[in-house]
Amino acid sequence: MSCGTTWNTFLLNIQSIYPSMTKAEKKVAEFVLQHHRDVRFMSIDDLADACGVSLTSVFRFCKALKLKGYQDFRVQLTLSLSNTPDSPNEVDVEAEMLPGSVTRSDTMNTMVQKVLQSHLSPLYESAVLVDEAALLRASEFIQNSDQVRFFGVGGSSLTAMEGMYKFLHIMPNVYCLADVHMQIMASSTLNEHDVAIFISYSGSSKELVEMAKRAHSANCRTIGITQYSNSPMTKYMDVVLLCGGYEPPLQEGASPSKTAHLFMLDLLFTEVYRSQFGYSKQINQQVTDSISNKIY
């Protein structure tokens, strides 16, 4: 088997264990060997669809390489390509390791413009992806709930906290716990009168998927804010709000993806605010008054 390109240790390792793989795993291996530069930018769902196999088969392929999971696979693949001598795309891979495709040779002005564009692009993409019906439905869930809980793991936990802070200005029963184990505990106490908002770039975090599953099984209304419509998390969502933006494997929790999530949260916040304007304005005034004496 040959993919007609410069080989590196990581790709050679895939080729070496190819004979011992299952039929489904071999499909994944063949695709990776032939399209390894494109695979860096694919989600686990994208790769599974491209190979015509299940998500489990892709995960088992990663395990066959003695890797922790798909994210680890993407990181190792990207690192291996950046270390390949005479690689025709070496500069591109190097840029991928820096925010906004910035290279070390860029001028300060070029760097500023590239990073600016990396934040603007996800916003424009998210605006195009807005599903009015989904946004309205999510807003109605929140307005008719006893409590709203935000969930997020890793970098998304900060976005979840930001969501709680924002919604506390217009409604009282909003919560978010920073510790992932406490979030799991909280997800087990939800019921049909509650709303749970899950924030995740990939929608593949094991902890978050477990929390989403618990919330869904309790008939809690679930809202997902993510970049991928077909992920383990979205299976348990009543509403999915899709965002734009790409997060490279070596930039997990990158600012542009957070920008897209915050934009979607702001749209949801604004829709809830204007839908129950009188009530929201009253709560907002109470909150503003409570902290006004804290400002010099």
Q: Regarding predicted confidence, which is higher, 107 or 1? A: 107
Give 90's pLDDT tier (boundaries 50, 70, 90): very low
Question: Which residue, among 164, 142, 151, 155, has the nearest Cα to 199 in the 3D structure?
Answer: 151
How confident is the model at residue 246, as a pLDDT?
65
3-state secondary structure (DSSP) of residue 225: strand
**With 50 as the cut, is the pLDDT of residue 41 above it?**
yes
Give 283's pLDDT tier (boundaries 50, 70, 90): very high
How confident is the model at residue 3, as a pLDDT?
44
**With 90 as the cut, is the pLDDT of residue 22 above it?**
yes
Percent of the residues in the chain that have a pLDDT greater than 70, as a whole number:
87
pLDDT digits (tens, 9 = 90+) for 61-84: 999 998 988 888 888 888 777 655
Q: Which two tokens stand for residue 108?
A: 């300060």
Instruction: Give the count of beta carbons closer than 10 Å to the beta carbon of residue 268.
Output: 22
Give 248's pLDDT tier (boundaries 50, 70, 90): low
Percent of the residues in the chain that have a pLDDT greater than 90, as a whole number:
52
E strand or H helix that includes residue 226: strand 221-226
**With 80 as the cut, is the pLDDT of residue 274 above it?**
yes
Give the Cα separation of 279 and 219 in Å (integer): 26
Give the Cα separation of 215 and 210 in Å (integer): 9
How confident is the model at residue 71, as a pLDDT?
81
**With 60 as the cut, is the pLDDT of residue 27 above it?**
yes
Q: Please, is 164 exposed, middle or buried when counting C-beta atoms within 10 Å of its C-beta (0-12, 13-18, 19+)? A: middle
End-to-end CA distance of the chain: 70
Whole-model pTM above 0.75? no
How confident is the model at residue 216, as a pLDDT?
97
**With 80 as the cut, is the pLDDT of residue 172 above it?**
yes
How confident is the model at residue 9, as a pLDDT?
77
Per-residue b or e along 172-205, where b marks 16 or more CB atoms closer than 10 Å to that residue's CB: eebebbeebeebbebbeebeeebbbbbbbbbbbb
Give the Cα separation of 216 and 271 in Å (integer): 24
Q: What is the DSSP letter of 102?
A: -
**With 60 as the cut, is the pLDDT of residue 6 above it?**
no
Contact status, residue 239 vs residue 223, Cβ threshold 8 Å: yes
pLDDT digits (tens, 9 = 90+) for 197-223: 999 988 888 999 999 999 999 999 999
Mean pLDDT of 45-64: 91
